[in-house]
Amino acid sequence: MAIANSDLEIIKPRTDKREYRRILLPNSLQVLLISDPETDKTAASMSVSVGSFSDPEGLEGLAHFLEHMLFYASEKYPLEDSYSKYITEHGGSTNAFTASEQTNYYFDVNANSFDEALDRFAQFFIKPLMSADATTREIKAVDSENQKNLLSDGWRMSQLQKHLSATTHPYHKFSTGNWDTLEVRPKENGLDTRERLIKFYEENYSANLMHLVVYGKRSLDELQGLVSHKFQEIPNADRSCFQCPGQPCMPEHLQILVKAVPVKQDHRLRVTWPITPSIRHYKESPCRYLGHLIGHEGEGSLFYILKKLGWATSLSAGEGDWTYEFSFFKVTIDLTDAGHDHMEDIVGLLFKYILLLQQSGVQKWIFDELSAISETVFHYQDKIPSIDYVVNISSNMQIYPPIDWLVASSLPSKFNPSTIQMILDELSPENVRIFWESQNFEGHTDMVEPWYGTAYTIEKIASSMIQQWIGKAPNEQLHLPVPNVFIPTDLSLKAVPNKAKFPVLLRKSPCSRLWFKPDTMFSTPKAYVRIDFICPYTSHSPEAVVLTEIFTRLLMDYLNEYAYDAQVAGLYYAINHADSGFQVIVVGYNHKLRILVDTVLEKIAEFKVKSDRFNVIKETVTKEYHNMKFQQPYQQAMYYCSLILADHSWPWTEELEVLPHLEADDLVKFSPLLLSKAFLDCYVAGNMEPSEAESMVLHIEDLFFKGLKPLSRALLPSEHLTNRIVKLERGIRHFYQCEVLNKADENSALVHYIQVHQDDVMLNVRLQLFALVAKQPAFHQLRSVEQLGYITVLMQRNDSGIRGLQFIIQSTVKDPGQIDMRVDVFLKDFESKFYELSDEEFRNNVNALIDMKLEKHKNLREESAFYWREIADGTLKFDRRDAEVAALKNLTKQDLANFFDEHIKVNASQRKTLSIQVYGSVHSSEYKAAKSETPRPQSCRIDDILSFKNSQPLYGSFKGGLGHVKL
């Protein structure tokens, strides 16, 4: 019988209506039950206190491999993949991750399918089947996952930091595993990987090392009965938790300067110190305090000075890679070319700022300010998807006492200057490790990290040398931040007399239109403001596109010192380049939101080009363009697909070509032109009154469209921009073939796109239902059985209201042409299974899709994104979900079969396909052969994207001029 601890207090947000109960099952499994009668999605997460640190010697990646294997089958549910199939067909999703000291398994599912989903999930930990056949296949999947990461600088630099630590410490290990560590080496050493896998499971997966969170609609008593019944059979071998042997860095791993060659064209400094883990003092939050100050971006901060000098483009500071036994404090600085030449000065300035903190002493007012902000964030936090919520909490359960399972370390509440001072003292020159990344080091290294092949070299740096750097660093006025004026003090909710279900057009003029949606769902003191500047001059040439990008970056750059405090206080803003101009988004507590909105808009109105900042932003943008060739091959394939389909888009190569020739004077001339013609599409939602929203938009109109010399004039109907999509020819198989941009990348990729229709309720639901029915079978066949690649996805696609289906597969084992054929074979094989779908299976899938559509938005951002998509596409179907639910209720199995026969079935007369094939370096010979082949009948090879687009008809746009908008 489970022991309930319903009396035990668990700190929860004041606004949280959910009920919580901690129980302990007889097998020592700790469980947190969450009852939320309002939820649409139920969820569960199991955190097992066993991770990659527990990998046996010579079997690197075994814990991660085990995570993969548990998804296959169990003694109670022996049909391979039946767990994932059940979850998908009932509107849910499932995944897992392996960390250093835990492995976390989780799922969500529609509420009425929770019981069986939970039962299937429980079998992971009771009696999984790890067949020999599945074992061999899944090692390939782990290897494919590793292949995906080999050219990622994040993975490479993380492993390099681990590599340069004590070989006897588990931190040193390679954690993900690959074909070599799980197949080749074990065989060479006479080890049977499957036997060791089963042994590892039996020795480590004990109920007393597990923490379960279950999130459901039912009462706590009902959930307790459900969990007790399903999870009590998990064996308890009474294992001890893995004990990490202290710090991984010995004296020889400290006071080092490591120069490493990254894949991308970036310069980056990572300055790290091993420190006392702040988890031991989590209520005192020493790293939160120090990270807040060292990572601050306001006037007088380290970043402010580095930016003023033109040496850095971003800076972050805080704790990372921590356990209860060891931790690192990290400062990461992205450098400009000039910053790269001043590395010593930058490190000197960093230590100068640390010295300033030492001299200033630990300030209570700063801690109190952080504490107040954290308190507000915790008590007025947005609801997040239940699947994310359960993962967060189950991970916390391993670390914190039950009272703080929801809070974790998010509420600094105990001011203890000596604890903060202790960590500050550890940020010393004697304790430092500096990792300096740049392609400039190519050819000047003498070592290679074994798992990812990163070239590097090590130099010892004495603390006396760092003292010299401090001495010669620029004498800039570093100082502590001033009190934050953006902290909200009025958190009251405004009355909503009109309970509008959908956005309403509150105001319309030749210059703008304002959509308004009061908060009728979330009861939080937050608002969302979005203003789209539709400017025809933004996209009339590659130069215009690049200059608009630099314009938006410069605006963010100019606002940074002022608005950084707003972001710290929970008020976020962004100015983004968009296809039709640029957009301003401000979201967060509504109390001081208007101040920030007005400042952002005034900064746009009075925009001036500072040539020194222009040059820094131009350099950053240039590197980003050059680094596009290092995108994953599947991302490159998706880019080509979008380029082919979108009527008016410039290739990034042309934008890169014009970039070197652009100077500050070009932007001086362009920015007034950009703003000279504009229309403002505005959306305001949340804890705001209609009069406040109208007042905001009237002020913006006054700024841009009024006065003796207005900055902007309203657009004429013909000047409104539209996004139109290429209409592929029926019965033709279009294909585009190219080589991967990074010749070192072995991965190939395929996007197999099937274009179906322009937005239409009946066709939408048929497409959505087919995607739901086929998603898991496609994944199982192409990924689990055929092992084509770790990235294997079947998903819907929506381009400005044009709907379709796409298979996305990345692989080293087969070239894209072969993968394309495997997709066709899958669809042919799937035909018979699809036609044999029983009435019950059909109805289950329909009901699952209906439940997904009826799922309520979790928070204001999610709701706003949904309605904004309707405004941006011009479809304005705010009641889309209701209409599609009604259509689904009338859908028949024959309707779905007819849809498949007409649009999806291989060789269907109405089928419109586009196959994007990106060939990796291991398939270069196959690429040459494919390019020399004569296209098959009813096929169209695209050799020149621009010529192809110019020869194709287009779908009509939902967006017309202002006068044509349907309301």
Question: Among 214, 228, 275, 254, which residue's Cα sits nearest to residue 20?
Answer: 214
Q: Is the pLDDT of residue 186 over 70?
A: yes
Question: Among 333, 312, 322, which residue's Cα sits nearest to residue 273?
Answer: 322
From the candidates 60, 67, 89, 739, give the one annotated as an active-site residue.
Answer: 67
Choices 3.30.830.10, 3.30.1360.120, 3.40.50.9100, 3.40.50.300: CATH for 725-955: 3.30.830.10
Q: Is the pLDDT of residue 966 over 50?
A: no
The predicted model gives 704-729 an average pLDDT of: 92
Q: What separation in angstroms does the CA of 313 have from each of 221, 268, 339, 401, 481?
A: 54, 10, 9, 40, 20
Rounded CA-CA distance 39/65 in Å is 33
The predicted model gives 869-877 an average pLDDT of: 94
User: Quick one: pLDDT at residue 71?
Assistant: 95
Q: Is the pLDDT of residue 617 over 70?
A: yes
CA angle 528, 531, 535 (to 5 degrees): 165
Asked whether the beta carbons of 356 and 481 are under 8 A apart, the reply is no
Q: Is the pLDDT of residue 244 over 90?
A: no
The predicted model gives 432-461 an average pLDDT of: 98
What band does 8 get if pLDDT is binned at 50, 70 and 90? low
User: Quick one: pLDDT at residue 964?
Assistant: 40
Mean pLDDT for all residues in the chain: 95
On the question of a common fold for 251-383+406-472 and 504-714, the answer reads yes
The pair of structure tokens assigned to 511 is 């210059």
The predicted model gives 740-757 an average pLDDT of: 96
Sheet holding 93-98: strands in order across? 3-5, 19-24, 30-35, 210-216, 41-48, 103-110, 93-98
Residue 67 a catalytic site member:
yes
Long-range contacts of 665-672 (CB under 8 A, 24+ apart): 666/543, 666/547, 667/547, 667/550, 667/551, 667/554, 667/609, 667/614, 668/609, 670/537, 670/543, 670/544, 670/547, 670/551, 671/547, 671/551, 671/607, 671/609, 672/711
Rounded CA-CA distance 297/615 in Å is 20
Q: Percent of the chain scored above 70 by pLDDT?
A: 98
Q: Is the pLDDT of residue 325 over 60?
A: yes
The pair of structure tokens assigned to 820 is 């394309």
CB count within 10 Å of CB 792 equals: 25
pLDDT of 781-837, one tens digit each? 999 999 999 999 999 999 999 999 999 999 999 999 999 999 999 999 999 888 889
User: Quick one: pLDDT at residue 563?
Assistant: 95
The pair of structure tokens assigned to 255 is 């006071």
The whole-angstrom distance between residue 333's C-alpha and the CA centroid of its chain comes to 21
Q: Decide the pairing of beta strands 733-739 and 939-941.
A: parallel
Tokens 């410069």 sit at which residue?
Answer: 554
3-class SS at 247?
Answer: coil
Q: What separation in angstroms does the CA of 624 have from each of 112, 133, 207, 266, 370?
A: 47, 43, 48, 9, 34
User: Quick one: pLDDT at residue 962?
Assistant: 43
What band does 963 get if pLDDT is binned at 50, 70 and 90? very low
Name, in order, each residue with C-beta under 8 angstroms of 652's C-beta and a sequence gap of 6 or more: 625, 628, 639
Domain positions in the chain: 4-232, 251-383+406-472, 504-714, 725-955
Choices 3.40.50.10800, 3.30.420.280, 3.30.830.10, 2.60.410.10: CATH for 251-383+406-472: 3.30.830.10
Asked whether the beta carbons of 102 and 50 are under 8 A apart, the reply is yes
User: Quick one: pLDDT at residue 327?
Assistant: 97
Residue 692 a catalytic site member:
no
From the candidates 89, 101, 138, 549, give the one annotated as an active-site residue.
Answer: 138
Q: What separation in angstroms does the CA of 217 have from each of 37, 236, 567?
A: 4, 29, 35
The pair of structure tokens assigned to 198 is 């089963």
Q: What is the largest CA-CA distance in the chain?
A: 86
Q: What share of the chain is helix, strand, coil (3-state, %, to 5)?
A: 45, 20, 35
The predicted model gives 902-927 an average pLDDT of: 95
Question: Among 796, 735, 769, which residue's Cα sits nearest to residue 850?
Answer: 769
What band does 138 get if pLDDT is binned at 50, 70 and 90? very high
User: Quick one: pLDDT at residue 930?
Assistant: 94
Q: Is the pLDDT of residue 965 over 70?
A: no
pLDDT of 47-80, one tens digit each? 999 999 999 999 999 999 999 999 999 999 999 9
**Domain 504-714 homologous superfamily, CATH:** Metalloenzyme, LuxS/M16 peptidase-like (3.30.830.10)
Asked whether the beta carbons of 297 and 565 are under 8 A apart, the reply is no
Amino acid present at 259:
K
Rounded CA-CA distance 340/529 in Å is 38
Rounded CA-CA distance 80/780 in Å is 9
The pair of structure tokens assigned to 474 is 């620029």
pLDDT of 515-560, one tens digit each? 999 999 999 999 999 999 999 999 889 999 999 999 999 999 999 9
- Provide the β-strand partners of residue 433: 256, 272
**Domain 4-232 homologous superfamily, CATH:** Metalloenzyme, LuxS/M16 peptidase-like (3.30.830.10)
CB count within 10 Å of CB 250 equals: 12
Tokens 């953006």 sit at which residue?
Answer: 486
User: Quick one: pLDDT at residue 967?
Assistant: 34
Q: pTM value? A: 0.94
- Provide the β-strand partners of residue 587: 528, 572
Rounded CA-CA distance 146/150 in Å is 6
The whole-angstrom distance between residue 610's C-alpha and the CA centroid of its chain comes to 33
The pair of structure tokens assigned to 359 is 């001299």
pLDDT of 352-375, one tens digit each? 999 999 999 999 999 999 999 999
